[in-house]
């Protein structure tokens, strides 16, 4: 079995779209302790299938568009493996939650199939295949704290100190990533050109290991677009802030709202307040950073 974490974008700067439609990014990812699990079983050549259980399972496609299936197929093609695979995914990470749940499953499928087929791909090759599957997949392989550039797929470790306590508030229903980027483009209009500048203040805060500094530096260019598409998230953010979170941010394209706490007790207080407030579907605590895709059996 391979388990992979969710990600939070502590900072996400988005540039104007490239000719291929993707947006150049400068982002700082942190992997947090909310995990999906992926198991693989051998199957006859050409037979790629997936079953999904757990949180939001009915919203996950089980055809060829499933990112774990795409990842397995790309690995098989790269190494001319004449085999198929039966993938089973158990989800805890909210679907279309801005937490890289699908990408996380793709990263897990790569690591699991690499072991099943004995392809011994190695880190660089896995990262290359991961980048072809989706922008967040390479980060889900490496985990920890990392800076993402390109369309998010070029990752390098970020210097960081500390373990951070998070409270995640899940919304009813997801937000499709492509729609949130499109809304940002609409809001910005075509008059000015935007560059994705590295969030230096945030990187300094991460190096300091001080959650108060980090809380103040959280910043996501996609947040106004996610709020425009889902105005009720403003209330969720307000409640976390009323209970003294050190900083709040919508993760990636949303709609999951993330609150940074000063310590574990503080995280429990914020989680209880959010749970009782009716402003979100459910609440979970997590810590970060944690490692990326890991074989656990």
Residues that bind ligand C5P (CB under 6 A): 22-23, 25, 134-136, 151-152, 177-178, 181
CB of 143 to ligand C5P, least distance (A): 17
CB of 135 to ligand C5P, least distance (A): 3
CB of 149 to ligand C5P, least distance (A): 10
The residue among 196 and 233 lying less far from ligand C5P, judged by its C-beta, is 196
The residue among 64 and 242 lying less far from ligand C5P, judged by its C-beta, is 64
The residue among 13 and 90 lying less far from ligand C5P, judged by its C-beta, is 13
For the annotated catalytic residues, the residue numbers are 7, 136
User: In Å, how far are 106, 115, 153, 208, 221 from 205, measured between CA atoms?
Assistant: 31, 38, 23, 5, 18
Q: Where are the alpha helices (DSSP H) in the chain?
A: 67-78, 101-117, 123-133, 137-142, 177-188, 200-208, 211-217, 223-229, 233-242, 264-277
3-state secondary structure of 222: coil
The residue among 136 and 183 lying less far from ligand C5P, judged by its C-beta, is 136
CB of 25 to ligand C5P, least distance (A): 5
User: In Å, how far are 10, 11, 92, 219, 231 from 202, measured between CA atoms?
Assistant: 8, 7, 28, 8, 26
What gap in Å lies between CA 154 and CA 109, rounded to an integer? 20
Q: Where are the alpha helices (DSSP H) in 8-95?
A: 67-78
For tokens 């993707």, the residue is 22
CB of 177 to ligand C5P, least distance (A): 4
Query: Which two tokens mark 175?
Result: 């937000």
In this structure, the dihedral spanned by the alpha carbons of residues 156, 162, 167 and 168, taken in order and rounded to 10 degrees, is: 10
């Amino acid at each position: 079995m391979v388990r992979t974490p969710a990600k939070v974008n502590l900072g996400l700067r988005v540039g104007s779209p490239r000719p291929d439609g993707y947006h150049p990014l400068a982002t700082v990812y942190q992997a947090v302790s909310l995990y999906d699990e992926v198991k693989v079983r051998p199957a006859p050549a050409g037979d790629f299938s997936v079953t999904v259980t757990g949180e939001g399972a009915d919203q996950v496609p089980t055809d060829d568009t499933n990112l774990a299936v795409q990842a397995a197929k790309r690995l098989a093609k790269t190494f001319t493996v004449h085999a198929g695979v039966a993938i089973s995914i158990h989800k805890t990470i909210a679907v279309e939650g801005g937490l890289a749940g699908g990408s996380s499953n793709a990263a897990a499928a790569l690591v699991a199939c690499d072991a099943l087929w004995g392809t011994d791909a190695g880190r660089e090759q896995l990262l290359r295949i991961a980048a072809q599957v989706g922008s967040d997949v390479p980060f889900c392989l490496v985990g920890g704290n990392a800076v993402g550039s390109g369309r998010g797929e070029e990752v390098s470790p970020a210097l960081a100190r500390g373990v951070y306590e998070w409270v995640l508030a899940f919304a009813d229903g997801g937000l499709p990533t492509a729609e949130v980027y499109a809304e940002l483009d609409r809001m910005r209009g075509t008059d000015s050109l935007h560059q994705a500048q590295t969030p230096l203040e945030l990187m300094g805060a991460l190096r300091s290991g001080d959650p108060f500094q980090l809380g103040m530096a959280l910043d996501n260019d996609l947040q106004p677009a996610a709020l425009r598409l889902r105005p009720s998230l403003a209330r969720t953010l307000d409640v976390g802030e009323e209970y003294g979170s050190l900083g709040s941010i919508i993760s990636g394209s949303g709609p999951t709202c993330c609150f940074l706490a000063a310590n574990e007790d503080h995280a429990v207080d914020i989680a209880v307040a959010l749970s009782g407030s009716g402003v979100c579907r459910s609440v979970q605590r997590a810590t970060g950073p944690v490692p990326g895709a890991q074989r656990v059996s």
